[in-house]
């Protein structure tokens, strides 16, 4: 199996682990990056998902090199945590524009090829915080919860076209995004996780790869937690 796979934000963190998992399995993997030197071993396309023109250009590059995207992993995301009374409109809208509208942009563009091919796999990276909530994370939680409604609507809209839409909701994962937390915050989080530790990015990647595999051919509209049990029941 050598499919054309795109992982947004595949240059570091969870996205890089996902990109490696697909590449190790023999797929042709494209990743997006915004600045600096992207990691070797992938087709790296420069793309800020808040810019529709850059998204279009990235898809053209990928299609020229690998053919239409058959598996899309919408992973790129940001946090701008702040208590509500201190949260600026920019703090709110920039997180929505990246995590939700950015996902809309890349999913919509990928679907062009998937509709033509009459098949496709889309996996969105949400968060346990989307359904569990998190103080200081109203913007982030809203954007990640919205991905569930987005994916489930598309699962209903495009199921007959053999395109699946699933969501992976990681708990706390060891990446740059969580490095900003203090030791005290970290200890507090870990104390609430039944498995008693953070996830490694590869543990999230394994769930994503499963959802894009033949073994998951009858799964769509699902939200798969990879959270050590933190979000159980939510």
Ligand X SMILES: NC(=O)c1ccc[n+]([C@@H]2O[C@H](COP(=O)([O-])OP(=O)(O)OC[C@H]3O[C@@H](n4cnc5c(N)ncnc54)[C@H](OP(=O)(O)O)[C@@H]3O)[C@@H](O)[C@H]2O)c1
Q: Between 18 and 154, whose beta carbon lies closer to ligand X?
A: 18
Cα 45 to the center of its chain, rounded Å: 17
State which of positions 136-155 bind ligand X (CB under 6 A): none
- By C-beta, is 106 or 158 nearer to ligand X? 106
User: What are the phi and psi torsion angles at 6 (to 5°)?
Assistant: -120, 130
75 close to 9: Cβ distance less than 8 angstroms: yes
Q: Which of residues 202-221 bind ligand X (CB under 6 A)?
A: none
Is 9 marked as a binding-site residue?
Answer: yes
- Name the residue nearer to ligand X (CB basis): 15 or 228: 15
Stretch that binds ligand X, among 10-18, 59-67, 151-159, 212-220 (CB under 6 A): 10-18
Q: Where are the beta strands (DSSP E) in 56-204?
A: 71-74, 120-125, 163-170
CB 96 within 8 A of CB 61: no
The verdict on 124 binding ligand X (CB under 6 A) reads no
Question: Is the CB of residue 174 less than 8 Å from the CB of residue 198?
Answer: yes
Applying CB under 6 A, the span of 76-84, 85-93, 152-160, 211-219 interacting with ligand X comes to: 76-84
According to CB under 6 A, which one of 6, 13, 123, 216 is a site residue for ligand X? 13
128 contacts: CB under 8 Å, gap ≥ 6: 169, 170, 171, 172, 225, 227, 230, 231, 234
- Strands, E assignment, the chain: 4-7, 28-33, 43-46, 71-74, 120-125, 163-170, 223-226
Do the beta carbons of residue 26 and residue 13 sit within 8 Å? no
By annotation, the residues acting in catalysis are 140
Closest CB to ligand X among residues 4, 126: 126
Q: Quick one: how far is CA 21 from the chain centroid?
A: 14
Q: Does 176 bind ligand X (CB under 6 A)?
A: yes
Give the residue with the Cβ less far from ligand X, 102 or 120: 102
| Residue 113 engages ligand X in binding (rule: CB under 6 A) | no
Per CB under 6 A, the list member of 3, 5, 7, 12 interacting with ligand X is 12
In the shown chain, the binding pattern of residues 80 to 109 toward ligand X, with x for contact by CB under 6 A and - for none, equals ------------------x---x-------
Which residues bind to ligand X, rule: CB under 6 A? 8-9, 11-15, 32-35, 47-50, 75-78, 98, 102, 125, 127, 170, 172-173, 175-178
Binding site: what residues are annotated?
A: 9-12, 75, 140-144
């Amino acid at each position: 199996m050598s499919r054309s796979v795109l992982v947004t934000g595949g240059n570091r963190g969870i996205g890089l682990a996902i990109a490696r998992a697909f590449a190790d399995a023999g797929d042709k993997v494209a990743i997006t990056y915004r600045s600096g030197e992207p990691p070797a071993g992938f087709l790296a396309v420069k793309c800020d998902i808040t810019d529709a023109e850059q998204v279009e250009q990235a898809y053209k590059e990928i299609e020229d090199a690998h053919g239409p995207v058959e598996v899309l992993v919408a992973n790129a995301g940001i946090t701008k945590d702040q208590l509500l009374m201190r949260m600026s409109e920019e703090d709110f809208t920039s997180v929505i524009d990246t995590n939700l509208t950015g996902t809309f942009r890349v999913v919509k563009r990928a679907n062009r090829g998937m509709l033509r091919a009459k098949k496709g796999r889309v996996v969105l990276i949400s968060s346990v915080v989307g359904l569990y909530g998190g103080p200081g994370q109203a913007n982030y939680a809203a954007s990640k919860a919205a991905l569930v409604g987005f994916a489930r609507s598309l699962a209903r809209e495009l199921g007959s076209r053999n395109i699946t839409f699933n969501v992976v909701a990681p708990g706390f994962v060891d990446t740059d995004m969580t490095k900003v937390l203090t030791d005290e915050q970290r200890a507090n989080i870990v104390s609430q996780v039944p498995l008693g530790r953070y996830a490694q990015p590869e543990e999230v990647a394994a769930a994503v790869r499963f959802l894009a595999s033949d073994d998951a051919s009858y799964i769509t509209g699902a939200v798969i937690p990879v959270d050590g049990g933190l979000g159980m029941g939510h």
